[in-house]
Structure 1
């Protein structure tokens, strides 16, 4: 059975870094959700304008479909990154995925997010966007199905190892 894994969380939590490490370890394709944003979304974020729900729906659908297609057509597993900040967004991703999704949700303090975002180069998401993402963020509760919330307070390799251990414990890997 195919599986999609989304590494989620607000800006500065390590979604791409952890997702790429996980994909490399599991020999699965990686879909960078930020690259699927339409130009108007990128322009808004680059100018410090938070996205609205209406800005996000088509993008979330594209992320879900890209990950699903890669999982079905390639190795049976695909990893992707996508903020998936709220329960509604995560439900929407699941609804538009043709494969089961596990959403690994990375979260940390606003101060840590600001530190990480202000230290990165060449990304359209500036530190001026941290407040809106932090305020919108809904860390998954224990009863939210298909979610693994992780405090992103360790090096990316350790976070990857925790995810792999969870996948093995849950018998989600072939």
Structure 2
């Protein structure tokens, strides 16, 4: 394997950006904000409250995988962090397919619908508005079974409902260590 890419994902409002930033500091590695890589057409759609389709996401997922792979190769520890919704199992598979020489860890964060809406409503200066949470929540496929680290897979599924950002970060780190996904 060339290195390890940690993908922090889930629907809007789960704490992806904060968790990824903390992981980047913890592992002393680069962090790629997946939202910054959306093509303008996707941003316009989401700003208007129009949910993205699978076709809107495929090229974006490939781009963020490729750009994160470059950062991972450049990092002295060969680790990089990226955020993206990765709401479906097929999205996670596409990321793995386009980064075949990398080890992936998918940290899937999720929460109750009401908590997600509340969190997104309280964000400032973000194109993702609370009316978009429903579309993400409806298509969300929380990793389960053989996808999970504890069953030999490459996914963590962390319910962030009612948890502080520090608690979420600690749970991610504990699960990574217990699953021996990354030695740190």
Deviation at 1:165, TM superposition (A): 1.9
1:107 is aligned to 2:116: no
Q: Does 1:167 align with 2:170?
A: no
- Alignment check: 8 A CA contact 1:21 1:157 kept: no
Q: Is 1:136 matched with 2:144? A: no
List runs of 5+ in structure 2 lacking aligned partners. 148-152
Q: Distance in 2 between matches of 1:92 and 1:16?
A: 21
How many Å apart are 1:156 and its aligned residue?
1.3
Structure-2 residue corresponding to 1:49: 50
In structure 2, how many angstroms separate the alpha carbons of the residues matched to 1:47 and 1:79? 29
* Alignment-derived partner of residue 82 in structure 2: 80
Match of 1:147 in 2: 155
Q: Partners of 1:138 and 1:99 in 2: how far apart?
A: 23
Distance 1:58 1:149 in 2: 25
SS of the counterpart of 1:143? Answer: helix
Any idea what SS the aligned residue of 2:106 has? strand
Aligned length: 174
Which residue is equivalent to 2:98?
A: 96
Instruction: Provide the rounded CA distance (Å) in 2 between the counterparts of 1:109 and 1:93.
Output: 26
TM-score scaled to structure 1, two decimals? 0.95
Q: Which residue of 2 aligns with 1:124?
A: 127
Q: Any idea what the Cα deviations from partners look like across 1:62-121, whole Å, max 9, x if unmatched?
A: 111122221111131101101000011110011111411110000001100000000000
Q: Which has the larger displacement, 154-163 or 108-117?
A: 154-163
Kindly report the root-mean-square deviation, in angstroms, between the aligned alpha carbons of the 2 structures: 1.2
Give how far 1:126 is off.
Answer: 0.4
Unaligned runs of 5+ in 1: none
Q: Distance in 2 between matches of 1:40 and 1:46?
A: 10
Aligned mates of 1:3, 1:106 — CA distance in 2: 19
Q: Identify which range, 71-80 or 43-52, moves more after superposition.
A: 71-80
Tell me the TM-score normalised to structure 2 length: 0.90
